[in-house]
Chains A and B, each alone.
Chain A
Amino acid sequence: MKGLKKQRRIQVIVVAFAALVASFGMFYIAAPDALQFFRSPSEVAETPPPPDEVFRIGGLVADGTLVRGQGETITFSVTDGGAIIPVSYTGVLPDLFGEGEGMVGTGRYIDGVFQASEILARHDETYMPSEVIDALKAQGVYQEPNG
């Protein structure tokens, strides 16, 4: 840069910017399939991964499916509105976990059941005081967010 005239410096920067925008664009194009953090239940139902493959599944915990069994084992179903995949998990659940809430689980898909080794809760970007929710519930107008 030191020995260059101003006009040439601007030309170099414009070329560099074009390259950087192109690299950003490549992230953008590759993102949906190449850099997935988790798979949706529909994707898992369509192309079930082999039982020895460890992957993540993400979606909402289906209402009325959460069963806390004996000991620490719990079962529930995860859904994205399309397919429903049953999940079995042994361990401690995060605070935000619950029916109708988002979750991401790591594990294997064996005989139609997702055997999770780790469960994470997923939070959406809604923030509301608990008093407001209690009041809304008391009036019967509260709707569960579909995050």
Chain B
Amino acid sequence: MSFWEYANPRRFMAFTDRVMGPAFVLAAVALSVGLVWGFFFTPDDFRQGSTVKIIYLHVPSAFMAINIWVMMLVTSLIWLIRRHHVSALAAKAAAPVGVTMTLIALMTGAIWGQPMWGTFWAWDPRLTSFLILFLFYLGYMALWSAIEDPDTAADLTSVLCLVGSVFAFLSRYAVNFWNQGLHQGASLSMDAEENISDVFWFPLLVCLAGFFFLFLALVLLRTRTEIRKRRAHAITLRERAA
């Protein structure tokens, strides 16, 4: 069976019906284990004290904010090339989840920055490109609701998603080439064991898994809702015509 058969709405609904429940359960388990472990059972950092604990929210939400845009980029490209409606609806469904993650990352970053850096906000390259990504999310959602025809809306939002991906990648890689910025290097890199002590790293991994499964469950739920809305709309049109 080919992967593309899930582009059939009926197949997609049947498959996700089985996947969604376990995803919610995994999200709940991983988030409660990871956050409780991180907040109550980890020691204080040697310079930051207990303020370090905000990484259990900040790092996973920022990670997801960027990766959700990349997921929207992939589904938008599938829509543009193969014209699968489910793919376009998945991108539409992911945006509100993504914007929430971006907002969580911005707010936790500000709360961490005030005592640590001495400021809530600085026009550092990484922070700025992340703020632009947040604005792109808002614009993306606004564009979806501004256009009545669903196919035109899917086309135009897909193009917007292509453009916005520049800032998604910039906010991830900004620290690599703007080394004279305020934000520290990536907490999540392949050599992370050297930077982050294991006692902080393991609960962080659990939180990352929790955020990922939460996103998966929410995006499936929202995509299913969008598909049902399309069906309801089609039925209304048919009844009106009859």
User: Which residues on A are within 8 Å of B, measured CB to CB?
Assistant: 1-2, 6, 9-10, 13, 16-17, 20, 23-24, 27-28, 31-32, 35-40, 58, 92-97, 101, 104, 118-134
Contact = CB atoms under 8 A, between A and B. Distances in A.
Contacts of A97: 118
Contacts of A93: 118
A10 to B, nearest CB: 6
B85 to A, nearest CB: 13
Contacts of B118: 92-94, 97, 118-121
A87 to B, nearest CB: 14
Interface string B69-82: 00000000100111
A145 to B, nearest CB: 9
B182 A96 contact: no
Contacts of A95: 48-49, 51, 115-116
Contacts of A39: 180
A40 B122 CA distance: 18
Interface size class of B (residues with CB under 8 A): 35 or more
A127 B55 contact: yes
Contacts, number: 131
B117 A13 contact: no
B125 A120 contact: no
Interface stretch (B4-12, B39-47, B99-107): B39-47
B200 A127 contact: yes
A24 B80 contact: no
A127 B45 contact: yes
Nearest to A21: B166
A24 to B, nearest CB: 5
B186 interface: yes
B44 A123 contact: no
B48 A31 contact: no
B225 interface: no
B151 interface: yes
B165 A20 contact: yes
Given A17-B162, A37-B125, A24 B197 contact: no
Contacts of B170: 24, 27
Given A1-B159, A92-B118, A127-B200, 11 more contacts: A10-B81, A36-B180, A37-B180, A37-B182, A94-B118, A95-B51, A96-B116, A120-B119, A120-B182, A129-B197, A134-B46
Contacts of A37: 122-125, 178, 180-182
